[in-house]
Structure 1
């Protein structure tokens, strides 16, 4: 599995033709094809290219299992 730094994932922000990746619990998910992540933004609340672990645990109206629909493309380097 590919390993990413936070800086590397930040490049995948869904803008200007880039893929849209998000981080949750150390895993990197590709959300590019989701209609809910248009242009790297989710519902005007979250942006791709970031670690959303805390946001999803505290604020999101859905459970983290909603990420099961997305491919894990890597993990964050320790």
Structure 2
């Protein structure tokens, strides 16, 4: 990302849950990713996970590694 990297609050992330706005976002390790076009995140749900959240603590239960995030578009950073 460039020097004008955008930051978003947890509240702003929560609105990108697949229900409230058209965008569907998730966060992992402080980075926010756009999963809007992913067929795996239709309506903001991916198995038992919901979009609009920081999923860092949930990766340990996933059948995949963090490498899945390399394919996703970065939206910005999560403001902590």
> How does the TM-score come out when normalised to structure 2?
0.89
Residue 25 of structure 1, CA deviation: 0.1
Q: CA RMSD in A?
A: 1.1
In structure 2, stretches of 5+ residues that fail to align are none
Residue 14 of structure 1, CA deviation: 1.0
How many pairs align? 76
Partner residue, 1:10: 14
2:33 aligned residue (11, 25, 29)? 29
Please give the alpha-carbon distance, in whole angstroms, between the structure 2 residues aligned to 1:21 and 1:60: 18
In structure 1, stretches of 5+ residues that fail to align are none
> How does the TM-score come out when normalised to structure 1?
0.91
Please give the alpha-carbon distance, in whole angstroms, between the structure 1 residues aligned to 2:39 and 2:64: 16
